[in-house]
Every structure is written in C-alpha cells, then in structure tokens.
Structure 1
Amino acid sequence: MLVAEIDAGANRRVLYLLPPPDEIISPSELGWETFQDLPVPLIKLGPDGTVLAFNRMAAKLLGVSLRREAHLSQLMEGLGRSISDWLDDSLAGRLVQKSEFLRLTRTDREIFVQVSLNRISEPGEAALIAVLQDATELKSLEAQFVQSQKMQAIGQLAGGVAHDFNNLLTAISGHCDLLLLRHDQGDPDFSDLVQINQNANRAAALVGQLLAFSRKQTLRPETLDMRDTLADLTHLLNRLVGEKVTLTLSHDPVLAPIRADKRQLEQVLMNLVVNARDAMPAGGEIRIVTEVTTLDHPLERDRVSVPAGRFVTVQVNDDGTGIPRDKLQKIFEPFFTTKRTGEGTGLGLSTAYGIVKQTGGFIFVDSEVGRGTSFTLYFPVLEGQPTTVSRAVVSSPDKGPPPRADGVILLVEDEAPVRAFASRALRLRGYTVLEAESAEAALKTLEDKDLDIDVFVTDVVMPGMDGPSWVRQALKQRPDVRVVFVSGYAEDNFGEEQSKIPNSVFLPKPFSLTDLTNTVHNQLH
C-alpha cells in the first residue's frame, strides 16, 4: 500500500495507509497523477528525450504515437536542428529562445505545437517538462499573412518593372516607327525594322501580363454576354485544344450581362483552356459551364469573402493529372510553373488572376491529383444601365496617320528617349513642340504670358510634381488647353484625378507614332 506521512502540529505526525493504484507507479512518477486533469498538455522527458510520463491533454493532442519510452523526435519535427541538441541546450540552460514551433508527426491531420522546455531536478538525474500549446491556427494565420505579403510584394515589383519597361519599349518601338517612315518595302532594311517592331510588340504583350498580375494594366470594360463572348472564341479554342481533346460548352438559358474587358477576358479563358489541354496529354474532355449564381450569404473561401449577390460563374473543368495540394497555393504566382523549360513562362494563371481581380471578380481552383481540375470564375452581374468609361480616343494604326496640322504642344516627359521620340513624331505631323523634362520646368515655360499652347502632353508619374498636379495648376491660367496624359501604369491608378481635369484623355504606354499623333489630333479637333 501507499504510505503518506503528514505533519499534524504539536509535534504530532499522521500516517495515512492508502490502497495501491491499479498500476505500480514509482514514487518519482506519483506526482504526475496530480497533473492528469490539468487543461495544459504536459510531457515529462528524460535527458535523452525519452518520454517518461504525460497527462491526458498531451495524449489527446499527440494521439496514439505518444507512449512511454517513445523519443521526442518520433513525435514532432521541423525544429531546423536536431532535437537532441535542443534538449542538451535546455538542460544546460543555454536556450536563448524559450519556445519553439514544431509540427506533429500525426498522419491523420496537420497540427503545429508551440513547445516550451523547463528543467526540473529529481533525485538521481535532471529531467525536462515539455509544456505544449496547439498553434495550428496561429501557423495557418501566419502562412496566410506571409502568402499575402509575398503576393503584394511580387505585385509591386511586377508593376514597377513593367512601368520602366513600358518607357523603354515606347522609345524602341517609337524610334523604329520613325525609321519605317523613311524606308519603303523595297528597302533591304525594311524587313529588319519590321522584325524589331514586331518583337517590341511581343515584349509589350509580356509586360502587359506583368501589369495584369499587379492589377495595373489599362482595362477597356464594356457590357458583355458570356454566351456571345464564348461563341466568338469557340473556333479559336477548338484549334488550341487539338484533335485528342474535346471541348464542350454548357450555358445557362438566361445569362445576365457583366462588365469586363472582352480582350482580357478572352485571354483568361484561353489560358485556362490551354492549361486544361496540357494536363491531359492522352486526350480527354474540357467542359466550360456558365450559369447565374445567387449568393444569399457571403461566400468565405480560400481566405477570400465573396459578397452576397448575383454572379455569372464560368467553370473550366478537365479530367487531367490534377494539381498537388502543396502547389495549389502557388499557382497564381508569376513565373511559377510545373512545366518543363520552354513549355511555359508561368505567367498564364498569374495574368488570369490579375485580370479577374481587377474586373471585380473572383477565381477559385479545386483539384485532385489523378482526377482533374476545376477553375471557377465569379463575375458580378451588371445591374441597371452601364456607366460610361473614360478612355482615350486612340485610332488604330490601320487608319493611317492624321493629316498635317498646326498647333503648339507642350511635351512634358522625364524619360529622355521617350521625349525625343514623341517630339519628333509630333513635329513630323506639323506641330510646334516645346519640351520640358519635369513639371517644374513646364510651369517655368508657361510663365511667358505671350506663349499660346493648344495641348499639354504629359507623363503622369515623374520625380517631383506629378502630371495631374502641375496640369491643375497650369489650367488656372490657361483653362482652354486640352490635355493628353501618358503613363506606363493603368488609367485606374489616377482615374479620379483625371476625371476632375476637363478636356483630358489617357494614352497608355507603350504607344506607337500613330497612336500619339492621332490622340493629339483628336484632342485638337
């Protein structure tokens, strides 16, 4: 039996003779009976990391793998160094960080724990008490925050790089346009110049994809019916999927209109269909389903909240190889691809993500390895009359250049190559061009009261004062001057600013010689 001796006072001692427990427990382990019902998971470890005892909460958290004589390294992982070293440092009092985050080796579900080690002394040798705390939700929130920060940082980087590249491409393609004006098709240099021009346009399309991911590309939204959009695209999609893959479309009998950029939306659908085709090398079926969905309550999914309301949904389903779970959260990142080198840039899904988000929609993916993948796009239904969109009236190149004209243009652009091209292009069309490399220089030029200016052509983002700011200041003295804003970013980035400036239009970079001269001509007439 168990004997308990207690001081009863007045030099008396009381002996309690207790019945033995079900299991024979050594005196050193007896104290753990007291901790069985504590609401904190506790594990007693030997100096070598062997489990000596544990309470009920620890058994519930760690599962069946927690047993006496098991080693701590069999129960959890992810420390970044050997668990034996961590235990040695704890026993020696060398721990700088009091707790560590580890992942349990349970196979039924993923659990993270925060573990604090405390040294205790017992007769014979020292031991350790591990205090555990379930940190699964904390780690999940941390992963979501890190992913959000990463996507935001990549977006800012992509947008900044794309802005600078648009300036370079404007200068390259612009000066190429100037050279093409001086060479006819019989000239031996003509084909080389055409090649430069075509490749500059391809580079511009690639930069457009980066801007799409960072949601800074210029959209031209219009009222669309998804049924008509897919009908126009079906012939091209059938050519894309090839002979081994079947493409089937299923539409809701009554589809509501949405508001989106048709060209960009077609690019999203083509990217999704091409990925579905590549996931089925032996052939199969791609199913595109459109329908109107009404959400009575907000839809919480993938760290996103879709508000209640009516949506047009587009599903692109395949029976392909599927996407592993560890790659699902990365598929919308730029340059992330599972294809071999040369088979893909990794920009397709990131472009789709950016376009859908900038349109005001949502994109989700469901996938099972070996079973297939389903992408679902949500676009808010356009209720009532569509709003008008402020956009530059840019003539397409096939309409040819406008006739020669007279007028005085104040050109403000901090990038010297872009300024050189734009000024030469406008002078070739008969305009008088005054150049300024900054907003401050432009305002200095306008101090001459006798100077008549017809159009301001100005960059938006410049060192010092930006485009809209100096234009607003200049229009106080010259209210009748018309304005052309040019930028490598999207119109949306300063749409509110531009809407407050009368007689102003927006021209996105990179622009061609014809784009520029036609826009100025339309502003003057």
Structure 2
Amino acid sequence: MTHTSKTQSPAAEDTPLKITLIYALIGGLWIIFSDRWAAALVTNPVALTEIQTYKGWFYIMATALLLYLLIKRDMTALQENEDRFRATFEQAAVGIAHVGLEGQWLRVNQKLCDIVGYSREELAQLTFQKITYPDDLEADLEQTQRLLAGEIETYSMEKRYIRRDSSIVWVNLTTSLVREPTGEPKYFIGVVQDISQRKQLEEQYHHSQKMEAIGRLAGGVAHDFNNLLTVINGYSELSLNRLSEADPLQKPIREIQKAGERAARLTSQLLAFSRQQILQPKILDLNEVIAETSLMLKRLIGEDIELVTFTRANLGRVKADPGQIEQVIMNLAVNARDAMPQGGKLTIDLANVELDEEFARRRMEIPPGSYVRLAISDTGVGMDKETQKRIFEPFFTTKGLGKGTGLGLATVYGIVSQSGGSILVYSEPGWGTTFKIYLPWAKEISETVPTSHVPKIYPSPGTETILLVEDESGVRDLVRDTLKEEGYVVLVAGNSAEALRLCHQHPDPIHLLLTDVVMPGLSGHQLAQALLPLRPHLRTLYMSGYTDEAIVQHGVLEAGVAFLHKPFTPQTLTHKVREVLEAPAYTNP
C-alpha cells in the first residue's frame, strides 16, 4: 500500500540548521579568542594588522573546507537516497506513477509502460482518463475526488486500461495523494499490478462451471426425453407392424415415427454436449479420417466453397470414436458453410504440436504434452467477442428462425471434451473463423482393426424368462408387451425392491435381468450385484437414456457390459436381448 507523504523527514529538516549553528559557533569562538591571542602576543600595530589579515584568510579557508565537508556528506547521503528511490521506482515488479491532479502522467516507471504498452514520452502526452476503459472511469474519478476531499487516504480498485494496441489489460490500482507541507494537494501516486492472467483464469473457471451446469441439465433433459421417445417410437413401430399397408393410419403413424427419430437425434446431441455418450474409441490416423470424409464434405459445403486440406506425414495417432470425430468435422464444416453464403474457402489443417504447462493449463485446462491439432478455418463473416463466449452453449445460435438447432457446436464441444481434448476459437468480424481442436496422442501405437461384423440373425420367438426392472411406466409397458409378443416370460418390477422380491419368490430359472440404470433406491448396477448370490448365472442387459459411472468410465463401457441406449425400437430391443442370451457366458458385472 502506498502511504500519503505530507512533510520532510526530521533528518532532512535538521541539516541546514546544524550547518548554520556549527558555522556560527566556530566563527564566534574564532573571532573572540583569536583577537585576544593576537593582541596579547603582538604589540606592533602593523604586524598585528598583517596577522589579523592572515587570520581572516585562514578563517575563510577553514570554514570553507568545513562547509564543503558537511555539504558533501549530506549531498552524498541525499544521492544515495535518490539512487535507492530510483532503483526501487524503476525496478519494481509493479507499475508506479506520479499523476497530476488533472490526470496527466508526470512520472512513470518502465513496468507501467510495459503494462499499458506506451512509452514514457507517449504517456506524458496522455491522461489516465484517456486510457481508462470507459465503464471503469466513473468509479475511478469518484475515488480520486474522495482523496482530494480528505475523506480517505488511499483506495484500491480493479479496473481496465486500454493498451496502445487497443487490447484490454486488467489491473489492480492502489492510489494515494501527496500533499504540500501546507496541506494542499500536490500529485497522486499510483501503484499498478497486472492481474490479466488471474482474471483470465477466473473467467475460464466460471465458464467451465457454467458449461458443467448446463451439461448436467442437458443430460437430465435428454434422459427424460429418451424415456418419452422410447415409448413414442416403440409404439409407433408396433402399430405399423400391426397395420396393413393400405390402412389409412399408416401415413400419420409414420410421420409420428419420423418426428420421434428426429427428436432422438436432438437428444443424442444433448448427450454429446453433456459428455454422457457411450463412446467406442479406436486408434485413429486423422490423415485417413480427413481423406475418407473429403468427398462427403465437398458435397456438404457446395461448389461455391473451395475445400483445401493439409495432411501431415508422421502424424501422431489419437484414440477417439471415429463416428464422433467425423461428426465434429461435419458440424464445423456446416458451421463454416453457413458463415460463407457468398462462397469462400474452407481449410482443414493437421499438425503435431507440443503444449507446454502454461499454454495447456491456462488456455485449455488439459495436461501438457503431445497433441494432434485439427484446425478448421473459413473465410466467412466471423464473430465478435460476445458471440465467441456463447457459441458452445446448447441452443445458442446466430442463424435465423428454423435454420439451426443451436446444438452443432455444443455437440462438438462435448465430443472433444469427452475424448480428452480441448477446442479454441479464433475469430474477428469480417475476417473468418478458425476452430483449433487438440486431441492427445494415443498411448497405444497400434490396434487391430476389427473385421466387418454382420449382425447374427437370432431365432424368434424366445422362451426364456426375463426380469424387467424399469421405473418409468410407459417404457415398462412397452418393453413388457414387446417381449411377450416374442414369446418370453416377463417378470415386471417397478423398482429394485420389487425385483429382489420377485427373484426370491420365483421358483424357476431367470435367464436375463433387463434393468434401467438410474432408479430410486438401488441403481441397476447395484441390483445386478445384489442378485448375483441368488442367481449366479443371471445375465444382465442395462438400458438407460444416459450413462452412469457405475457401468461407464469416462463414457467408455467396461468389458463384458451389455447396454441398450434409449430411445430404442422394439426390433432393436428384441435383437439385443437375443444377442445377450446367446452370447458366450461371462461374469455378471
């Protein structure tokens, strides 16, 4: 904190008085005693006059020497103090300034020049009001008026300066007032500390907290919608299967089914944003991914947009879900296309990069290390800073009504985050946009590519007994009706407690536990564990509208876990049930 200075130090005030008193004392003693000694020793008037003349010159020389020594001593001390002050002023780790009462910069150190980007000469032509961010000026002026009025001795505030290059720098400013000995204001002393990095970290933290909260909300909404869509889509398919092709109800029910499928895609995007999707990661060479999607991208963006791709030899491999990575590229390509209504250029560039600790943690909150950078750039209309702050929020869009869901970039954000990477956006209005995606190098250097798998056609109807546990009545009824039509014996429970009771009471074998994951009381995973001692050979098929950490770690299913994602159709349900029942025996997870 800077303190108010009103008077000189006592030592500085006493120095002139000391010199004066010493000079008067020595001079008085010399005159009194030297005249008496001379008169007593010399009786010749002429000789006495000469002696007094020499005595006067001696006095002048002696006192001059004494004054010189005294003044030199104090000047040396003063210079040392000045040097210490100058060193402190110039080498301080914070900006220091003397500011006139009208706001003019009187004296500044180099650190302050570094903070605001101006030279000393340039600052001398400006006032602090000129470079203060407009929204912060009123509060600053109010505090300076309180200083001048004597209401406070010092004040501190966080404010923004506009740098010479027009960028904004956040500072912590501490200001005090220096007064004349009479009490009149003389000038301000300001101490300026650059807090831009702290502000950036705070903004990143608040942004991540907001995105996490929105993600939780989106995941919950998707879960509820998926339960509803399971019922809508399921009964639509059952109804269509029971109607003849000529039935007039075929068309409206098909429209219901199509709408349900579109809604299911939207909830899938919400799950991607909330990082609750089930991923099937593989070791990928993004060179190959770009090559395979280029033709589709050209069709997607149209003939008036030029597609330019830059692949790299020896590109690091990444571990990600290939379908999800393709969706990231497609979504960003669509976003770029919409930003270039008059045509332009879409550039995709791949590179290996090394992220140091500061850049990785400060800019993206990911570990430092080796990454593959996927940069997608357009020459479109660009975005302002406020838009950039919100582009990854679900349902935020700058497109016209009916021209976008606002989930495209939110989906990209979720997929990249769930894949262990990060995404940055660079844009200016009129200068286009670049999205830079950083995905970590895969630890595995190779992976056997699975051969193409043709789904096995399982015999139907079934005869096994299935314990169905689902707390949503609509989903429960649909699954029960579907399985009964296929010939299965279905034991129905609305929660874990009912399931345990049925398992105890049912004397015959139970072949499959078909359970929701998230339920009141015991979760689906906990229920499966509780049933193991009673039914050691019981197989389990989980179903859910979103993932659960008990069966999913970071969005990747554990080995041996069978999972059916809502919303599902009756056909998907019956196929998955038979797949689990006829699969080789495994330990119930």
Measured against the shorter chain, the TM-score band is: 0.7 to 0.9
> In structure 1, what is the equivalent of residue 203 of structure 2?
143
Q: Please list, as runs of the form range in 1=range in 2, the aligned pairs for 1:113-128 lying within 5 A after superposition.
A: 113-117=171-175, 123=182
Task: Output the CA distance in 2 between the equivalents of 1:139 and 1:499.
Answer: 35
CA displacement at 1:432 relative to structure 2: 1.9
- What secondary structure is seen at the aligned counterpart in 1 of 2:244? coil
> In structure 2, what is the equivalent of residue 351 of structure 1?
411
The 1:296–1:226 alpha-carbon spacing in structure 2 relative to 1, beyond 3 Å, is closer
Which residue identity lines up with residue 113 of structure 1 in the other structure?
A: V
> In structure 1, what is the equivalent of residue 14 of structure 2?
6
Identify which of 416, 425, 430 aligns with 2:482. 425
The 1:454–1:98 alpha-carbon spacing in structure 2 relative to 1, beyond 3 Å, is farther
- What secondary structure is seen at the aligned counterpart in 1 of 2:14? strand
Q: Is contact 1:241–1:273 with CA below 8 Å preserved after alignment?
A: yes
Which residue identity lines up with residue 56 of structure 1 in the other structure?
A: N
Matched, 1:384 2:441: no
- What secondary structure is seen at the aligned counterpart in 1 of 2:415? helix
Q: Please list, as runs of the form range in 1=range in 2, the aligned pairs for 1:458-473 lying within 5 A after superposition.
A: 458-473=515-530
Shifted more, 163-172 versus 361-370: the winner is: 361-370
Q: Please list, as runs of the form range in 1=range in 2, the aligned pairs for 1:197-236 lying within 5 A after superposition.
A: 197-222=257-282, 226=286, 229-230=289-290, 232-236=292-296
Q: Please list, as runs of the form range in 1=range in 2, the aligned pairs for 1:88-237 lying within 5 A after superposition.
A: 99-108=156-165, 109-117=167-175, 123=182, 130-222=190-282, 226=286, 229-230=289-290, 232-237=292-297
Which residue identity lines up with residue 248 of structure 2 in the other structure?
A: P
State TM-score, norm by structure 1.
0.79
Q: Please list, as runs of the form range in 1=range in 2, the aligned pairs for 1:365-384 lying within 5 A after superposition.
A: 365-367=425-427, 369-379=429-439, 380-381=441-442, 382-384=444-446
Identify which of 348, 359, 376 aligns with 1:300. 359
Structure with the larger helix share: 2
Q: Please list, as runs of the form range in 1=range in 2, the aligned pairs for 1:267-306 lying within 5 A after superposition.
A: 267-290=327-350, 293=352, 295=354, 300-301=359-360, 302-305=363-366
Unaligned segments of structure 1, at least 5 residues: 20-30
The 1:164–1:118 alpha-carbon spacing in structure 2 relative to 1, beyond 3 Å, is farther
Structure with the larger strand share: 1
Task: Output the CA distance in 2 between the equivalents of 1:352 and 1:336.
Answer: 13
CA displacement at 1:82 relative to structure 2: 4.3
CA displacement at 1:502 relative to structure 2: 9.3
> In structure 1, what is the equivalent of residue 39 of structure 2?
none
Q: CA-atom RMSD, angstroms?
A: 4.3
Shifted more, 162-171 versus 488-497: the winner is: 488-497
Q: Please list, as runs of the form range in 1=range in 2, the aligned pairs for 1:444-459 lying within 5 A after superposition.
A: 444-448=501-505, 450-459=507-516
- What secondary structure is seen at the aligned counterpart in 2 of 1:160? helix
Which residue identity lines up with residue 6 of structure 1 in the other structure?
A: D
Q: Is contact 2:276–2:555 with CA below 8 Å preserved after alignment?
A: no
Task: Output the CA distance in 2 between the equivalents of 1:435 and 1:79.
Answer: 65
- What secondary structure is seen at the aligned counterpart in 2 of 1:465? coil
Which residue identity lines up with residue 307 of structure 2 in the other structure?
A: L
Provide, for residues 33-62 of structure 1, a one-character-per-residue CA deviation record: whole Å limited to 9, x for no partner. Answer: 99664446556778x875696653685355
State TM-score, norm by structure 2.
0.72
Matched, 1:490 2:547: yes
Shifted more, 462-471 versus 115-124: the winner is: 115-124
Question: Structure 1 vs Structure 2: percent identity of aligned residues?
Answer: 36
- What secondary structure is seen at the aligned counterpart in 2 of 1:100? strand
- What secondary structure is seen at the aligned counterpart in 2 of 1:421? helix
Task: Output the CA distance in 1 between the equivalents of 2:355 and 2:108.
Answer: 46
Identify which of 309, 321, 338 aligns with 1:261. 321
Which residue identity lines up with residue 563 of structure 2 in the other structure?
A: F
> In structure 1, what is the equivalent of residue 568 of structure 2?
511
CA displacement at 1:359 relative to structure 2: 3.1
Shifted more, 314-323 versus 53-62: the winner is: 53-62
Task: Output the CA distance in 1 between the equivalents of 2:566 and 2:533.
Answer: 28
- What secondary structure is seen at the aligned counterpart in 2 of 1:523? helix
Unaligned segments of structure 2, at least 5 residues: 1-7, 24-66, 73-80, 583-589
CA displacement at 1:370 relative to structure 2: 4.0
Which residue identity lines up with residue 221 of structure 1 in the other structure?
A: P
Task: Output the CA distance in 2 between the equivalents of 1:499 and 1:353.
Answer: 18
The 1:182–1:326 alpha-carbon spacing in structure 2 relative to 1, beyond 3 Å, is same
CA displacement at 1:449 relative to structure 2: 5.7
Task: Output the CA distance in 2 between the equivalents of 1:304 and 1:85.
Answer: 39
Q: Is contact 2:517–2:548 with CA below 8 Å preserved after alignment?
A: no
Matched, 1:320 2:380: yes
Q: Is contact 2:227–2:545 with CA below 8 Å preserved after alignment?
A: yes
